[in-house]
Amino acid sequence: MTTATTAPLNPVDSTPASAAVKPDRSKLLGGLAQAVVGLYGLWTFGFGSRTAHGVSTVFGLKIDPTVHGGLSPISAPAQSLAVALTVIAIACGLVRAFVPITAKLQRWLALGYFAAFVLAFMVWAAAGTSVGLNVPVILQQTAIAAVPLVLGSLSALICERSGVINIAVEGQLLFGAFAAALTASTTHSLWAGLVAGCLGGALMGALLAVFANRYLIEQVVLGVVLNLLASGITGFLYDRLMSVNPSDNVSMSFSNISIPGLSSIPVIGKAMFDNNIIFYAAYLLVPIVWFLLFRTRWGLRTRSIGEHPTAADTVGIKVIGLRYRNIIAAGLISGLGGVFLTIGSNSPFTKDMSNGAGYIAIAALIVGRWSPYGALGGAVFFGFAQELGVVLSSMGTPIPSAFLSMAPYLATIFVVAALGGLVRPPAASGKPYSKR
């Protein structure tokens, strides 16, 4: 009689020793890279000449410093604060590299690392300047810059949860901005412009839905083509209509609505609760989409066709029909983001004015792990990176203005590189479905 041989068991988890988990090389290298960059920040921001000699960094706490009353500015020693923040960043990198932690904790550490490093950089940039860091203005401009990113990422979220990759967010934003500006200018009605802008985004969504579901075109390539189509059409119509007749492209905007009580909160009141209706709609849509996606029958069916459309079909869910409806509805949301670019922010339409916002919105969705609140966090972070160059341009930093304008795109690359490997998209995302 022969006896079967078994591999020795690990006394802790009772798994074969040969199946022991190997060290995560990417986790080690990523953490060490963060620590090295943090050390560079410690040398540059903490012990550089800009923060030396006991200079301070001023933090303003009201939007208009010339107005009497309110909170007084806070002054902090620049060198000590920069050193403390960079040490935190270094610690986050070392913990990621050498401490066995879960993927969720890795994401939080990555966010803490970026926050500490960026704050140290801002303390260094504002050190010794009379302007300082106006916290309410930074919050306000970040929240405003994030609006089209929030709406674009929610649009991409609904599509990808339905199993269709929506790279065409950029074109939907652009077409919505054009339709809103042209309609509002010719009809002298902001509400007509809002409706037209949303319908413009829905039209681009309908094109995506038809070509992705009916003709099964590769969805990433399709999205890029639709973006180029939107750029070409809006550029042509701009030259033919708006450039020769400026009355078709007038700067106009919805009035701000101040929320009683909330708008008087120190620091954040005027920044967050004294804005126009599209601003409020963008942020209110986040919990609404979350509720619909995770607490309703529609959400359950949407998630099922994004994970396993064949199984959904077997229980009677009309996969293709639901995908059509969801993609067009997502186009409406992207169109609203385009509306904000023009009549939501008192700006005339210009060629390619979306300026990559659609692609950054998709990056926010990836960083946010295909969830509404995660996408909101990613959009706010990228909105902050977008406004960083504007804030720093008045401080006389030695950084060239060209590099400051690259900030949102560099932040997108670094954050997606750091967090992209820790997330998983819906299983059927980008996979055409045809009922046989």
Q: In the structure, what pLDDT confidence band is assigned to residue 417 with cuts at 50, 70 and 90?
A: confident
DSSP state of 19: G
In a domain, 338, yes or no: yes
What integer is the mean pLDDT of 11-25? 48
Whether the pLDDT of residue 4 is over 80: the answer is: no
Three-class secondary structure of residue 168 per DSSP: coil
Does residue 140 share a domain with residue 126?
Answer: no
Does residue 91 share a domain with residue 142?
Answer: no
Residue 187's nearest CA partner among 240, 257, 252 is 252
What's the total number of domains in the chain? Answer: 2
Q: What is the CATH number of the domain that holds 296?
A: 1.10.3470
Q: In the structure, what pLDDT confidence band is assigned to residue 346 with cuts at 50, 70 and 90?
A: very high
Q: Which of 101, 130, 159 is the last residue of a domain?
A: 130
Residue 223's nearest CA partner among 155, 162, 172 is 172
Does residue 228 share a domain with residue 118?
Answer: no
Does residue 383 share a domain with residue 357?
Answer: yes
User: Which comes out higher in pLDDT, residue 410 or 127?
Assistant: 127
Does residue 396 share a domain with residue 377?
Answer: yes
Does residue 126 share a domain with residue 156?
Answer: no
Does residue 76 share a domain with residue 223?
Answer: no
> What type of residue is 379?
A
Residue 64's nearest CA partner among 145, 140, 143, 146 is 140
Q: What is the pLDDT of residue 16?
A: 45
What integer is the mean pLDDT of 152-177? 97
In a domain, 326, yes or no: yes
Sign of the CA dihedral 151, 154, 156, 158? negative
Q: What is the pLDDT of residue 330?
A: 98
Whether the pLDDT of residue 357 is over 90: the answer is: yes
Q: What is the pLDDT of residue 404?
A: 75
Does residue 289 share a domain with residue 333?
Answer: yes
Is the Cβ–Cβ distance between 290 and 302 less than 8 Å?
no
Residue range of the domain that includes 34 = 24-130
- pLDDT tens digits, residue range 231-277? 999 999 999 999 999 999 999 999 999 999 999 898 899 889 999 99
In the chain, count H helices and then E strands.
Answer: 16, 5
Q: Which of 81, 98, 130 is the last residue of a domain?
A: 130
In a domain, 429, yes or no: no
Q: In the structure, what pLDDT confidence band is assigned to residue 130 with cuts at 50, 70 and 90?
A: confident
What integer is the mean pLDDT of 325-343? 98
- pLDDT tens digits, residue range 196-224? 999 999 999 999 999 999 999 999 999 99
Q: Residue 150 and residue 146: Cα distance in Å, rounded?
A: 6
Average pLDDT for the chain: 89
